[in-house]
Amino acid sequence: MDEPRWLDEQQDRAWRGYRRMRRLLDLELARELMQDAGLSEPDYDVLSDLSETPEQRLRLSELADRMLWSRSRLSHHISRMQQRGLVTREECATDGRGSVVVLTPAGRRAVEAAAPGHVAAVRRHLIDRLTPAEVAALGTLSQRVIGHLTGRPEAEG
């Protein structure tokens, strides 16, 4: 085992900063979302993904892949959201094993009520704190890291 290459001062600052920002942002955004809309972040993400879909419905596995969740986790979470009337399950017409998650009217109202405030919070705590160059850099850098972690399906600079 070679001598480990530790992080230099700039790199350490970036890594620690990233993690602290991450944690603080999470806590604050989750807090506001719950207070203002009665939704957890996972709830919001599910509803948001569903609502961006043409038919307001997605195969369970398709939704799980988009969210980078395990099927098990999504299945449990959907059960809970179903209890609250935000989504329903339907059988899949083309695959007897399959399950389709469908946004209910109540679910749609919930996201629509939550979205403006949530976007505002994202702006207030993150986007509006950044210069346009930083926003661009964050986007670019994220894409590159994502590409690396997913076997770079897109070209890398």
Partner DNA sequence: GGCAACTCGATGACATGTCAACAACACCGG
Partner DNA sequence: CCGGTGTTGTTGACATGTCATCGAGTTGCC
C-alpha span between 89 and 102 (Å, rounded): 6
For residue 41, give the H/E element and its range: helix 41-51
18 contact, one of a second copy, DNA, none, CB 5-8 Å limit per kind: a second copy
Structure tokens of 28? 């604050």
Question: x/- string (CB under 8 A) for a second copy, residues 5-44?
Answer: xxx--xx-xxx-xx-xxxxxx-xx----------------
CB of 18 to DNA, least distance (A): 18
In which region does residue 151 sit, left (phi positive, over 0), alpha (psi from -120 to 50) or beta (all else)? left
Piece of 53-61, 72-80, 83-91, 125-133 that binds a second copy (CB under 8 A): 125-133
CB of 4 to a second copy, least distance (A): 4
Contact between residue 88 and residue 104 where contact means Cβ atoms under 8 Å apart: yes
Closest CB to a second copy among 45 and 98?
45
Strand order in the sheet with 99-103: 57-59, 99-103, 87-91
67 near DNA, rule: CB under 7 A:
no
Structure tokens of 16? 């620690």
Partners of 99 in beta bridges: 91
35 near DNA, rule: CB under 7 A:
no
How many CA atoms lie within 13 Å of 108's alpha carbon, on the beta-carbon side? Answer: 12
Among 66, 65, 106, 113, residue whose Cα is nearest residue 83: 106
Closest CB to a second copy among 106 and 146?
146
Contact residues toward a second copy (CB under 8 A) are 1, 4-7, 10-11, 13-15, 17-18, 20-25, 27-28, 68, 115-116, 119-120, 122-123, 125-127, 129-130, 132-146, 148-150
Contact residues toward DNA (CB under 7 A) are 40, 42, 59-61, 64, 69-73, 75-80, 89, 92, 95-100
